[in-house]
């Protein structure tokens, strides 16, 4: 239940009783804006995720799936590891041991692997990522691999897997890998990968010799930033698959734009040359983010002002004449209407009114501050287990809790959420 308490002309929602630490902090998405953004991003760039960077991990997963397919029923020594996870141990250790300089810093699991190596340890359940199915490269890149038809949901080879593996083996002189042809270097490497993954499953950790030639071959042929010509062509076909015609169109538009640019800038440039339907989707994404940036700014402004008060309570006098809050109060209703119209033009599966409909009503800066904090408390309370507000009541006002205060005022020039455009440009750029 939310009670009302006077705040020198600003009626803010009174906080509920202190939640015990077990309830969690709920530090992500304090205004409940990300779900709609993610669903719109899926319309614009289906199959990709904002945290993806290197499309070549799709190839690595295909190579691992082919080499370890017959190990699906092998019982792991540690009770939890899978052939995919053990192949990930093998490949990431190969990268870290053999690519001393030039390995991209954002390779999943590389920092943890380097720590283990520096301690003289081998990769295992205890020394690798705590949640490799989420944070390892299989966890990060699986959505695209499955969407592209390279892997099944169970990480087994799917219909496009062998095509990609054959392209890779062709570029690196490893013919025979896909079909395990006896007497070929490709067939021999496939068998070595199979043997080392099986050994890792049986022991619960990598056992491959640290000086093994296999590590060098895997690192050289699968490093995330160097695709061969044949493989790159297959990856481009996967990215521009006509099943996702708007993603394909946008990818080709982005391929010609090599500027250092923000996602709003990239979409603005693409919009000028987009088809009518892609243009509608871009408009929906942009209009929603333009609404989200002001809703987020109003909340972050309160966090910033409260922080600047050094523990003194935030009251109406501190925000009533703030130019940013005044701008938000004037613009949010119109931006909501525009976003609702644009989103409705491309999908009926997103109910903007149900989630954010109260923002359509005009409010003074004071009233907006009241509603923003009220909305924030509702969002936090509605999260699994119920989460605490970022604000605590103090005397005649409120104070932002220490983890969430910041001296920085909100920036209105960027999207609140990544919308996968940088990911798509990175992927298509790697196939040039």
Cα–Cα dist 264/409, whole Å: 20
Per residue in 312-337, pLDDT (tens digit) is 999 877 898 999 999 999 999 999 99
Cα–Cα dist 21/295, whole Å: 28
The pTM score is: 0.90
**Which range, of 5-14, 92-101, 137-146, averages the lowest pLDDT?**
5-14
pLDDT above 90 (res 101)? no
Q: Are 224 and 88 in contact (CB under 8 A)?
A: no
When pLDDT is averaged across residues 353-366 and rounded to a whole number, the result is: 95
pLDDT above 70 (res 23)? no
Helices (H) and strands (E) in the chain, counts: 17, 4
Helix H or strand E encompassing 157:
none
Per residue in 153-188, pLDDT (tens digit) is 999 999 999 999 999 999 999 999 999 999 999 999
The angle formed by the CA atoms of residues 39, 43 and 47, to the nearest 5 degrees, is 90
In the chain, % of residues over pLDDT 70: 94
pLDDT in the model for residue 1: 34
Cα 302 to the center of its chain, rounded Å: 27
When pLDDT is averaged across residues 25-44 and rounded to a whole number, the result is: 92
pLDDT above 70 (res 385)? yes
pLDDT above 60 (res 98)? yes
Confidence of residue 8 (pLDDT cuts 50, 70, 90): very low
Tokens of 82: 């899978």
Per residue in 408-421, pLDDT (tens digit) is 999 888 899 999 99
Q: CA nearest 67: which of 229, 204, 217, 239?
A: 217
pLDDT in the model for residue 25: 59
Confidence of residue 10 (pLDDT cuts 50, 70, 90): very low
Residue 325: CB atoms within 10 A of its CB come to 23
CA distances (Å), 310 to each of 4, 164, 403, 405, 430, in order?
Answer: 24, 58, 14, 10, 48
pLDDT in the model for residue 395: 87
Q: Are 104 and 430 in contact (CB under 8 A)?
A: no
pLDDT above 50 (res 403)? yes
When pLDDT is averaged across residues 26-35 and rounded to a whole number, the result is: 90
When pLDDT is averaged across residues 226-240 and rounded to a whole number, the result is: 97
pLDDT above 90 (res 263)? yes
Per-state percent for the chain, helix, strand, coil, to nearest 5 = 55, 5, 40
pLDDT in the model for residue 51: 96
Q: How high is the mean pLDDT of the chain?
A: 92
Confidence of residue 19 (pLDDT cuts 50, 70, 90): very low
End-to-end CA distance of the chain: 57
pLDDT in the model for residue 60: 98
pLDDT above 50 (res 5)? no
When pLDDT is averaged across residues 180-209 and rounded to a whole number, the result is: 97
Cα–Cα dist 292/299, whole Å: 11
When pLDDT is averaged across residues 196-225 and rounded to a whole number, the result is: 97
Per residue in 279-325, pLDDT (tens digit) is 999 999 999 999 999 999 999 999 999 999 998 999 877 898 999 99
pLDDT above 70 (res 7)? no
Cα–Cα dist 145/55, whole Å: 9
CA distances (Å), 369 to each of 2, 172, 297, in order?
Answer: 16, 60, 11
């Amino acid at each position: 239940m939310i009670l009302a308490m006077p705040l020198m002309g600003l009626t803010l929602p009174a906080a509920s009783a202190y939640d015990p630490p077990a309830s969690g902090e709920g530090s992500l998405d304090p205004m409940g804006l990300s779900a709609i953004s993610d669903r719109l991003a899926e319309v614009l760039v289906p199959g990709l995720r904002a945290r993806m960077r290197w499309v070549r991990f799709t190839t690595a997963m295909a190579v691992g799936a082919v080499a370890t397919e017959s190990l699906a029923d092998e019982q792991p020594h540690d009770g939890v590891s899978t052939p995919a996870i053990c192949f990930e141990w093998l490949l990431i250790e190969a990268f870290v041991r053999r690519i001393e300089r030039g390995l991209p810093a954002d390779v999943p699991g590389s920092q943890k692997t380097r720590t283990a190596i520096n301690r003289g340890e081998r990769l295992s359940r205890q020394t690798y990522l705590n949640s490799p199915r989420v944070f390892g490269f299989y966890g990060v890149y699986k959505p695209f691999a499955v969407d592209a038809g390279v892997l099944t949901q169970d990480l087994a080879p799917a219909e496009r897997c062998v095509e990609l593996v054959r392209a890779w083996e062709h570029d690196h002189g490893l013919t025979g890998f896909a079909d395990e042809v006896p007497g070929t270097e490709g067939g021999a490497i496939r068998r070595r990968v199979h043997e080392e993954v099986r050994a890792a499953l049986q022991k619960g950790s990598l056992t491959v010799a640290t000086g093994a030639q296999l590590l060098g071959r895997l690192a050289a042929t699968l490093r995330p930033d160097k695709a061969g010509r044949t493989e790159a062509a297959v990856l481009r076909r996967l990215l521009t698959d006509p099943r996702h015609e708007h993603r394909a169109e946008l990818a080709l538009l982005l391929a010609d734009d090599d500027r250092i640019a923000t996602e709003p800038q990239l979409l603005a440039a693409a919009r000028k040359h987009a088809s009518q339907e892609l243009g509608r989707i871009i408009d929906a994404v942009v209009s929603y983010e333009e609404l989200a940036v002001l809703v987020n700014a109003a909340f972050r402004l309160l966090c910033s002002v409260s922080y600047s008060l050094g523990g003194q309570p935030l009251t109406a006098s501190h925000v009533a004449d703030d130019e940013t809050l005044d701008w938000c109060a004037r613009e949010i209703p119109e931006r909501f209407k525009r976003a609702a119209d644009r989103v409705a033009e491309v999908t009926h599966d997103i109910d903007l009114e149900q989630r954010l409909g109260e923002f359509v009503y005009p409010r003074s800066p004071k009233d907006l501050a009241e509603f923003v904090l009220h909305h924030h408390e509702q969002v936090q309370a509605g999260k699994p287990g119920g989460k605490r507000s970022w604000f605590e009541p103090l005397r005649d006002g409120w104070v932002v809790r220490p983890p969430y205060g910041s001296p920085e005022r909100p920036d209105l020039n960027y999207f609140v959420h990544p919308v996968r455009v940088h990911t798509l440009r990175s992927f298509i750029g790697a196939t040039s």
